[in-house]
Amino acid sequence: MRAPSSELPIAIEGVSLRNRDVTIIDDISLVVTSGPPTIVIGPNGSGKSTLIRLGMGLVAPTSGRVSWGGRANGGERCAMVFQRPVMLRRTAAANVAFALRPGERNHRARVAALLKQVGLADLADRPARLMSGGEQQRLALARALARDPEVLFLDEPTASLDPASTKAVEDIVQTIAAAGVKIVMATHDLGQARRLAGDVVLLMRGRVVERTAANAFFAQPATPEAAAFLRGDLII
């Protein structure tokens, strides 16, 4: 059951988001098209999460507009993985089944295939809330994939995981990207950005400082802010 219309390009045009007096996103224009993963980096509080949420349609901008494939009401074929995913109080398999589109055929086979894809085939009957953080994050990935997304947003999915779990998540993300799903991922881990990025969006204080192909960004950052960020200077 594929929706006929594409979610891409996702166009963010002149978008600002303010909460009372605090400006979280400050006049950002950005277009996300198909291709290798787009990685959003920046220090804490730079607006990465909010930008991801705007792209997912979870929050509405204060001003400006967001559109999906030219439509103002899109995002039906977007999925998202949160930094701390909420596990439904049921088994791992039931969590995946919950996210399948209604009327989907071969329920069981799909659930089994998705759990296998994220390496959780043996834990299908485990209550999701009793799984480890790394397992929960992989289950969240399976749940997002159950929606058969065209675009997958990830908001610092490995921020609270150990290196082994981080690697597992990155491997899955790379497989998904190779299968043609557009990845848009926020991270503050530069190593991770290097490993995954097709192109990079650097955010600071709610503004896009630089948007370039990953190779160029890491080899020759165009702005002094980007260079400082890459050097690991403490940027506030």
Partner 1 sequence: MPDSASALSLVLGGDPTLYAIVRLSLIISLSAALLAAILGFPLGAYLALARFPGRAFLTVLVSAFMGLPPVVVGLAVYLMLSRSGPLGFLNLLFTPPAMIAAQTLLVLPIVVALTRQTVEDLWIEYRDELTAMRVGPLRRVVTLLWDARFSLVTAFLAGFGRAAAEVGTVMIVGGNIEGFTRTMTTAIALETSKGDLPLAMGLGLVLIVIVVVVNALAWSARRVGEVRAG
- Please identify, using beta-carbon distances, which residue of 138 and 143 lies nearer to partner 1: 143
Shortest Å, Cβ 59 to partner 1: 10
For the CB of residue 3, give the shortest distance to partner 1 in the complex, in Å.
Answer: 11
Q: Which one of residues 10, 32, 40, 56 is an interface residue with partner 1 (CB under 8 A)?
A: 56
Q: Examine residue 82 and tell whether it contacts partner 1 (CB under 8 A).
A: yes
Site for partner 1 in 103-132 (CB under 8 A): 127-130
Shortest Cβ distance from residue 88 to partner 1 (Å)? 6
Question: CB of 199: closest distance to partner 1 in angstroms?
Answer: 24
Among the listed residues 86, 216, 219, 227, the single contact to partner 1 using CB under 8 A: 86
Tokens 């480890």 belong to residue: 132
- Distance CA(171)–CA(41), nearest Å, equals 19
Does the footprint of partner 1 cover residue 76 (CB under 8 A)? yes
Q: Which position has the token pair 């709610």? A: 206
* Sequence-ordered list of residues with C-beta below 8 angstroms from that of 64, at least 6 positions apart, any chain: 12, 13, 14, 15, 16, 27, 28, 29
CA atoms within 13 A on the CB side of 202: 22
CB of 163 to partner 1, least distance (A): 26
Tell me, by CB under 8 A, how many residues bind partner 1.
22
- Confirm or reject binding of residue 71 to partner 1 (CB under 8 A): no
Binding partner 1 (rule: CB under 8 A), the pick from 85, 134, 157, 221 is: 85
Instruction: Check binding of 159 to partner 1 (CB under 8 A).
Output: no
Q: Is 88 in the site for partner 1 (CB under 8 A)?
A: yes
Instruction: Write out the residues near partner 1 by the rule CB under 8 A.
Output: 53, 56, 58, 75-76, 79-80, 82, 85-90, 98-99, 127-130, 143, 147
